[in-house]
């Protein structure tokens, strides 16, 4: 996939609609707790500002619900404040993403200045899926009208929101579709993601090891099946390992499982053979509590306990595989890592991935939880690439097309 980038266009005096992924976590006071995604957007923003463009930044934040979809706890106003600090210039904020206020703020922009629109998902039309819109003329009109209103604010469209590229949100797909007579390009963040992920899939150094965690087999079945064709080993952790264990007849106590996926789990296991590595032990407890007594279970988990992390033997075997790896892809934690002591497995894997990278391996970490684990273990600077899009990177590894990128200008 080769697309035109912001290096291929001139933006001086042009209004540039820039779709970013500024979906940052906020605490109860509305303060940003991790500005990684804001900082990741800075190279593209600065390049366009240096080109004397008038930037209209837009993003979603969280998943607003309700009829009006306006949630004061999910406003992008704190993001505008943080952007202003990082850029060293004022970033005007529009409390509406379309309409009179947004138009006034955009009209008042000077060359080399940017503004930020309010959370796109405050508008119900942003998240209407194309499949539903196709069957409902009213939904289609709502989606098209919203895209048209956004298009009125810009002369050029830039997509640098990799984390949302697998979605058919209006700002990601409908908007560039209707801007056919205007330039539509990608920013530096997407360009880097496509290059890194593309290189890994096209020509991985071997052994190629994938680490997949998380809660559900159903969330990862597509990427497991795709990676079976490419990887030498797939290491499974997280709650989805319980589904594999239960499907094989092992007792898993109160552990989270997907009974309706047992047949699928067994089919994957049979197809994968020794490529698929599953936990041989687990850390179990009666509840998710940092003060609770834990137990190492080498096989069956007692009825009153649940598996909450991979055990010491599994950690040892997984780390051994990673020490031999030349290419590593990791998505999903090994346990309930947010609550110690159930973070031990995830942190051990993080350090093993970093050690392998130091020894020459290429490592790619995708997903918010995995990235958080990398940060918590203090090894972020020892990882080759930390993707900004967990779901998007999984879809890419599956080989799924990104229509939001397909509609943009080819190089």
Judge contact between 15 and 56, C-beta under 8 A.
yes
Phi, psi (degrees; rounded to nearest 5) at 138 = -65, -40
Q: Where are the beta strands (DSSP E) in 105-220?
A: 113-117, 156-159, 183-186, 208-212
Tell me, yes or no, if 324 is annotated catalytic. Answer: no
Per DSSP, 174 falls in state: I
C-alpha to C-alpha distance for 373 and 213, rounded to whole angstroms: 12
Tell me, yes or no, if 216 is annotated catalytic. Answer: yes
Place of tokens 């706890």: 73
Residue tagged active-site, from 37, 143, 167, 233: 37
Please name which of 263, 154, 164 lies closest in space to residue 218, comparing C-alpha atoms: 263
Residue tagged active-site, from 52, 216, 269, 313: 216
Judge contact between 121 and 367, C-beta under 8 A.
no
Residue tagged active-site, from 62, 112, 222, 368: 368
Q: Where are the beta strands (DSSP E) in 103-180?
A: 113-117, 156-159
C-alpha to C-alpha distance for 56 and 399, rounded to whole angstroms: 32
Per DSSP, 327 falls in state: E
For residues 17-40, one letter each, b for 16 or more C-beta atoms within 10 angstroms of the residue's C-beta and e for the rest, the string is bbbbbbbbebeeeeebeebbbbeb
Residue/partner pairs of 42-45 with CB below 8 Å, 24 or more apart: 42/86, 42/87, 43/187, 43/188, 43/189, 44/6, 44/18, 44/20, 44/158, 44/160, 44/187, 44/188, 44/189, 45/18, 45/20, 45/83, 45/87, 45/114
Q: Where are the beta strands (DSSP E) in 118-194?
A: 156-159, 183-186
> Would you state the structure tokens that stand for residue 351, as one six-digit string?
């350090």
Place of tokens 């205007």: 182
Distances from the Cα of 55 to the Cα of 115, 301, 312, angstroms: 6, 56, 51
Tell me, yes or no, if 368 is annotated catalytic. Answer: yes
**Which of the residues are catalytic?**
37, 216, 368, 391
């Amino acid at each position: 996939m080769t697309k035109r980038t912001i290096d291929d266009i001139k933006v001086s005096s042009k209004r540039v609609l820039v779709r970013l992924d500024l979906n940052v976590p906020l605490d109860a006071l509305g303060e940003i707790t991790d500005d990684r995604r804001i900082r990741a957007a800075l190279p593209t923003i600065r390049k366009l500002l240096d080109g004397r463009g008038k930037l209209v930044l837009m993003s979603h934040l969280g998943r607003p619900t309700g009829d009006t979809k306006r949630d004061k706890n999910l406003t992008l106003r704190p993001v505008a404040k943080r952007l202003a600090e990082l850029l060293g210039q004022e970033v005007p904020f529009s409390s509406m993403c379309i309409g009179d206020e947004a138009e006034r703020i955009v009209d008042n922009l000077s060359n080399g200045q940017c503004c930020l629109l309010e959370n796109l998902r405050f508008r119900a039309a942003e998240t209407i899926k194309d499949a539903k819109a196709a069957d409902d003329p009213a939904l289609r009109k709502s989606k098209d009208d919203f895209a048209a209103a956004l298009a009125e604010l810009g002369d050029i469209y830039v997509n640098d929101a990799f984390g949302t590229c697998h979605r058919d949100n209006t700002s990601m797909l409908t908007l560039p579709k209707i801007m056919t007579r205007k330039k539509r390009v990608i920013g530096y963040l997407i360009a880097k993601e496509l290059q890194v992920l593309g290189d890994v899939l096209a020509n991985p150094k071997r052994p190629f090891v994938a680490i997949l965690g998380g809660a559900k087999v159903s969330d990862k079945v597509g990427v497991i099946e795709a990676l079976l064709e490419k990887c030498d080993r797939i290491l499974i952790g997280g709650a989805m390992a319980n589904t594999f264990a239960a499907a094989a007849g092992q007792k898993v106590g109160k552990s989270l499982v997907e009974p309706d996926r047992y047949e699928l789990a067994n089919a994957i296991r049979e197809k994968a053979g020794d490529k698929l590595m599953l936990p041989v032990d687990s850390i179990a407890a009666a509840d998710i509590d940092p003060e609770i007594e834990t137990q190492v279970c080498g096989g069956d988990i007692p009825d009153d306990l649940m598996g909450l992390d991979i055990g010491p033997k599994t950690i040892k075997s997984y780390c051994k595989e990673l020490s031999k790896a030349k290419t590593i892809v990791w998505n999903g934690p090994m346990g309930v890592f947010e609550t110690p002591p159930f973070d031990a497995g995830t942190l051990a894997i993080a350090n093993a991935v970093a050690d392998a990278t130091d020894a020459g391996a290429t490592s790619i970490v995708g997903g918010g939880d995995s990235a958080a684990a990398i940060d918590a273990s203090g090894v972020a600077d020892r990882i080759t690439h930390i993707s900004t899009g967990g779901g998007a990177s999984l879809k890419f590894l599956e080989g799924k097309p990104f229509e939001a990128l397909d509609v943009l200008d080819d190089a």
